[in-house]
Structure 1
């Protein structure tokens, strides 16, 4: 199988459990570290699918590589090469498909319960509701033609799918222990001063971190297995 192309926007937001899952399945991947000056490929002909990760920047920023990235996404959709977007990646996928990105109703940091918005949600996420990790202040609209899959209490649009293969997510199902420990250290002051109902305190997250992470990764296994069904060989 051809490798998966992974676009990494920020040094602290790598592929983490997504890379672990791919390796476990014997699926290769190539990371394009945009924060380190990498150049995106001209096309995706040597890849089986495209993954976009998260980052602290906005999907509406005028970053120099965004136009090429959005072109790659649209080309992948046209050629039926599966695209998966985590947080910022889900927002960029929405933009590429004609959706919008704007301030979320609430800042979300920490674990949140997500409920089905459509019967197809169970096919992608398994038993519902699910509890997954959030860190975002903006959110996407559901793009034209896509199916709204998950809804959250503090942010309504949590996941959508187009053509039964291109998945946009507002949450971070790719988190592993090193990533969460890094984020909780770097973002502790932001979490402590926030008054948003969607923000947990670091000590509350740490109390049940291992059990919450294990549950999250079981859901991630379901998500990635379902998404990988469409990878081009």
Structure 2
């Protein structure tokens, strides 16, 4: 979707040794996606990626964390990432309820796709934008420019097929949805989520403090 908006992607994979930029100069923003690892893991690349988020925050560049990326942002801000006290997971489509702050920012979808067994608390100074069914904290922002989303608005049908095939055993976990709900739900909910994501990305990138300060030329 960012490519459709005219952006060029610079994909880095710290897990495989890719270095991360020393500065966000020349970049419109940064996104950290999800993955099978935990933000609590002690792997060097996990710790390095969590620490690197500070580059975006210090420079006022737009940052977006999705699922694991949101949890990494929480860890960077001093918050906790942990499993549900009842062992529940969110794997499939679940209801999303925006907060008053969230409603003022954008009109949110009411059903979103999840694939996680860990959630996070809300670090000091963050603004909660949306709540979920089993994991309350679903979307938040900090310093205006950095956003964390627990859910996967970037999901494609191919991704849903792949995840529910390779991760079939996870659908037996507490509160996980059956595979048929994943695939059928994509056709039911994706048009709204896709439209939301298109608008959200514009709003997210518009928060760039560097552009507001006149340090970069707005596109």
Q: TM-score, normalised by structure 1?
A: 0.82
- Partner residue, 1:138: 118
Alpha-carbon shift at residue 67 of structure 1 (Å): 3.4
Match of 2:131 among 144, 151, 165: 151
- Does the residue aligned with 1:148 lie in a helix, a strand or coil? strand
Using the alignment, how far apart are the partners of 1:187 and 1:177 within structure 2? 15
Unmatched 5+ stretches in structure 1: 1-20
Aligned to 2:37: 57
Alignment-derived partner of residue 29 in structure 1: 9
If each structure's strand is expressed as a fraction of its own residues, which one has the higher value? 1
Deviates more, 1:207-216 or 1:105-114: 207-216
What is residue 203 of structure 2 aligned with on the other side? Answer: 226
Hey, what does 2:103 align to over in structure 1?
A: 122
Aligned to 1:112: 94
- Determine if the alignment matches structure 1 residue 91 to structure 2 residue 68: no
**Offset of 1:120 from its aligned partner?**
2.0
3-state SS in 1 of match to 2:165: helix
Residue 3 of structure 1 corresponds to none
Aligned-pair Cα RMSD in Å: 1.8
- The Cα offsets for residues 98-126 of structure 1, whole Å up to 9 and x where unpaired, read as 21111134211001111123x22124441
How big is the shift at 1:39? 2.2
CA contact (8 A) 1:112 1:134 kept: yes
**Distance between the aligned counterparts of 2:9 and 2:129, measured in 1?**
27
SS of the residue corresponding to residue 2 of structure 2 reads helix
* 1:61-116 Cα shifts (integer Å, max 9, x gaps): 01212333233211211211111000000000011112111113421100111112
Does the aligned pair in 2 maintain the 1:44–1:72 contact within 8 Å?
no
Aligned length: 208
**If the length of structure 2 is used for normalisation, what is the TM-score?**
0.87
Give ranges in structure 2 of 5+ residues lacking alignment. Answer: none
Does residue 1:79 correspond to 2:28, yes or no? Answer: no
